[in-house]
């Protein structure tokens, strides 16, 4: 994963195990198959999934430090696995909503560009590609998530 991340980012990538919440103002999880297949087993195991320990530690450290965490697309479901009682959104997919709720998460149904904010845990989530959407709608949802995330810093 580090090799692919470095290729995409064209930069110096560090292992997630080295993450220190003190060095960051916020954390943003982009979602997609990376979140569902590489950083968790959500794509294969549904609500019985396991989450990469380093990711779980990073998210937990941020929440414990009172720092905001954002998640897009399927990544909010991963947050629900890590943080019991997390209020998140993935849009309107009934199967994924069921998985979130069975993992102890609270789901709020949304549509394009909408975000859900869990003010207690400082989580900001948006469904992005979990909905049948255009690239401009995806961009608007991601932009709105980042804007709300920055307000919590």
pLDDT score at 87: 98
Number of domains in the chain: 1
94-102 helix and 75-82 helix, angle to the nearest 10 degrees? 20
**Residues 35 and 75: beta-carbon distance below 8 Å:** yes
pLDDT score at 95: 96
pLDDT score at 9: 84
Which CATH number covers residue 41?
Answer: 3.40.50.880
The alpha helices in 83-134, defined as continuous H runs, are 94-102
pTM for this one? 0.94
pLDDT score at 3: 85
74-127 tens-digit pLDDT? 999 999 999 999 999 999 999 999 999 999 999 999 999 999 999 999 999 999
Which range marks the domain in which residue 51 is found?
A: 2-151
24-42 tens-digit pLDDT? 999 999 999 889 999 999 9
pLDDT score at 128: 96
pLDDT score at 1: 79
Q: How many angstroms separate the first and last alpha carbons of the chain?
A: 28
How far apart are alpha carbons 64 and 77 in whole angstroms?
Answer: 19
Beta-bridge mates of residue 123:
69, 118
Residues recognised as catalytic: 73
How far apart are alpha carbons 51 and 71 in whole angstroms?
Answer: 15
49-79 tens-digit pLDDT? 999 999 999 999 999 999 999 999 999 999 9
Beta-bridge mates of residue 118:
123
The residue whose two tokens read 């810093």 is 153
Cα dihedral 124→130→134→138 (10° resolution): 20
**Residues 131 and 92: beta-carbon distance below 8 Å:** yes
**Residue of 36, 117, 129, 15 lying closest to 81 (CA atoms):** 36
pLDDT at 2 over 90: no
């Amino acid at each position: 994963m580090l090799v692919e991340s470095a290729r995409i980012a064209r930069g110096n990538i560090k292992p997630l195990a080295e993450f220190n919440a003190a060095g960051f103002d916020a954390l943003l999880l982009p979602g997609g198959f990376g979140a569902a297949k590489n950083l968790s087993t959500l794509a294969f195991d549904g609500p019985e999934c396991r989450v990469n320990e380093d990711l779980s530690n990073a998210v937990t450290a941020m929440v414990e430090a009172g720092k905001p965490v954002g998640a897009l697309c399927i990544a909010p479901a991963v947050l629900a696995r890590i943080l019991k009682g997390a209020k998140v959104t993935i849009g309107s997919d009934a199967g994924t909503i069921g998985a979130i709720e069975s993992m102890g998460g609270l789901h709020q149904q949304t549509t394009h560009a909408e975000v859900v904010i869990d003010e207690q845990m400082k989580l900001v989530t948006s469904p992005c590609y979990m909905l049948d959407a255009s690239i401009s709608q995806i961009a608007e949802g991601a932009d709105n998530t980042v804007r709300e995330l920055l307000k919590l810093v």
